[in-house]
Chain A
Amino acid sequence: MKMFIWNILLALVWAMLTGSFTAGSLVAGFIFGYLVLAFVARLSDQTTSYSRKIPEVIGFTFFYIWELIQSNLRVAYEVLTPSHHMKPGVIGLPLDATTDAQITMLANLITMTPGTLSLDVSNDRRMLFIHAMYIEDENALHAELKELERRVISLLS
């Protein structure tokens, strides 16, 4: 997080030095700042996790958009066809995520992914309760949600 703020500051410095505050120059400044930080990180060996994180964020964004499109097509199919094929139910997902930020992010993402809606977290924060549209194959759903959780944890740790 600290490195991200440094990166933004470098982008602002770049925009100031080039004298143009447009979106393009800020993006260029961000990229140059990122390269500088990645280079410095390789020398100091202290902040390497940040340089690995940006590709992870980009990959995650595409993954998320893909999930969003999939979930929409599935819901659209369910709405537009005359009969309901849903097998809804509420399931509990044991959590490996520990911090508030991770659980919040995970709950948000679960609401976006195909046919799942997060309902509540147990008071001891070890289980997330989810309403799912299709629970005929609970193990597959479980594996899918665990994969999402793994990505969130590696992103926010």
Chain B
Amino acid sequence: MNESIAAVILLIGGAFVVIGALGAVRMPDLMLRMHATTKAGILGGGLVAIAGGVFFNESEVMVRALAILAFVVLTGPVAAHMIARAGYFTGAPFWERTLKDDLRSNLDKAGGYLYSAQEQREGKGRPQQQAPRDDGE
């Protein structure tokens, strides 16, 4: 009984990992690749660990599996965030069908400072649109 439950969980977990890997190939840009790999990786890896715990049916193994799950859930998003952030600031290209980018207008690249929209509204940030100057007159 335990064996078949563990097998089902293992298969579902494996399927999610495969989908994550496929997503890394199929998605059009870095950000969307990160969407696919982190979510599928976390759920798939967690399910595989839980399947191990269910198969051996000992509280000792199960506690360890849950600890693995907890750490994956804690560290996975941080890793994804760091990779996506590094990608953004080193200028990884976006998919051409990306609709909007609120970050770009709030970023002062030379000063390395990221303004919030509230600050922009209060006039502390750099001007949103530089007016063309005419020095001719």
Contact = CB atoms under 8 A, between A and B. Distances in A.
The answer to whether A binds B is: yes
Interface of A: 22-24, 68-69, 71-72, 75-76, 78-80, 84, 86-92, 94, 107-109, 111-112, 115, 117-127, 129, 131, 133, 135
B106 A72 contact: no
Interface stretch (B2-10, B34-42, B127-135): B34-42
Contacts of A117: 31, 34-35, 38, 80-81, 84
A71 B116 contact: no
A94 to B, nearest CB: 7
Of listed A69, A79, A121, residue having the most chain B CB within 10 A:
A79
A99 B41 CA distance: 29
A126 B118 contact: yes
The secondary-structure label for the interface of chain A is: mixed
B84 to A, nearest CB: 6
Contacts of A84: 28, 97
A75 B101 CA distance: 21
The secondary-structure label for the interface of chain B is: helix
A92 B113 CA distance: 15
* In the complex, the 8 A-B pairs of residues with the closest C-beta atoms, listed nearest first: A127-B116, A111-B77, A122-B116, A23-B59, A89-B99, A79-B23, A126-B116, A89-B100
A119 B99 contact: no
A121 B95 CA distance: 22
A80 B19 contact: yes
Given A75-B36, A120-B103, 10 more contacts: A23-B63, A75-B35, A87-B97, A90-B102, A90-B104, A117-B31, A122-B116, A131-B35, A133-B32, A135-B99
Given A88-B99, A90-B101, A131-B84, A111 B38 contact: yes
B16 A72 contact: yes
